[in-house]
């Protein structure tokens, strides 16, 4: 199946720094979703994007749906220790009537106090 290219694979940053991660796909998507997963728990939806060029914020998080419809990025501003976790991008292709998602491999974020 399709695999999204998510980078970076891991990040080690200091509290207060900004973070940026992105996902690219070889095919066009009509929906991009960003999730955060804490150890031993299910992913939690952070931001959903539905239109090319759309820029959406959720508190300190900002995500954008790329103009080409093949990429998306997530920014976290002024990181705090509770931002630690694995962030996954997920995309839904145009032809998917049931809403099947394709996932990136995840970005492991570590925040040092």
Partner 1 sequence: GAVVSQHPSRVICKSGTSVKIECRSLDFQATTMFWYRQFPKKSLMLMATSNEGSKATYEQGVEKDKFLINHASLTLSTLTVTSAHPEDSSFYICSARRTTYNEQFFGPGTRLTVL
The residues facing 19 across adjacent strands are 76
59 binds partner 1 (CB under 8 A): no
Binding mask 24-43 for partner 1 (x = CB under 8 A): -------x-x-x----xxxx
Q: How far apart are CA 111 and CA 13, in angstroms?
A: 5
Q: If we measure between CA atoms, which residue out of 24, 20, 45, 42 comes closest to residue 34? A: 45
| Shortest Cβ 15–partner 1 spacing (Å) | 24
Interface residue list for partner 1 (CB under 8 A) = 1, 31, 33, 35, 40-45, 48, 50, 88, 90, 92, 98-101, 103-106, 108
């Amino acid at each position: 199946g399709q695999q999204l290219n998510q980078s970076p694979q891991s990040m080690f940053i200091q509290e207060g720094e900004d973070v940026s991660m992105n996902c690219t796909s070889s095919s066009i998507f009509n929906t991009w979703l960003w999730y955060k997963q804490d150890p031993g728990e299910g992913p939690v939806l952070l931001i959903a994007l539905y239109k090319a060029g759309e820029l959406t914020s959720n508190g300190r998080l900002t995500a954008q749906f790329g103009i080409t419809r093949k990429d998306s990025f997530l920014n976290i501003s002024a990181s705090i220790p509770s931002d630690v976790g694995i962030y996954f991008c997920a995309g839904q292709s145009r032809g998917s009537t049931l809403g099947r998602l394709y996932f990136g491999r995840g970005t492991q974020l570590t925040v040092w106090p």
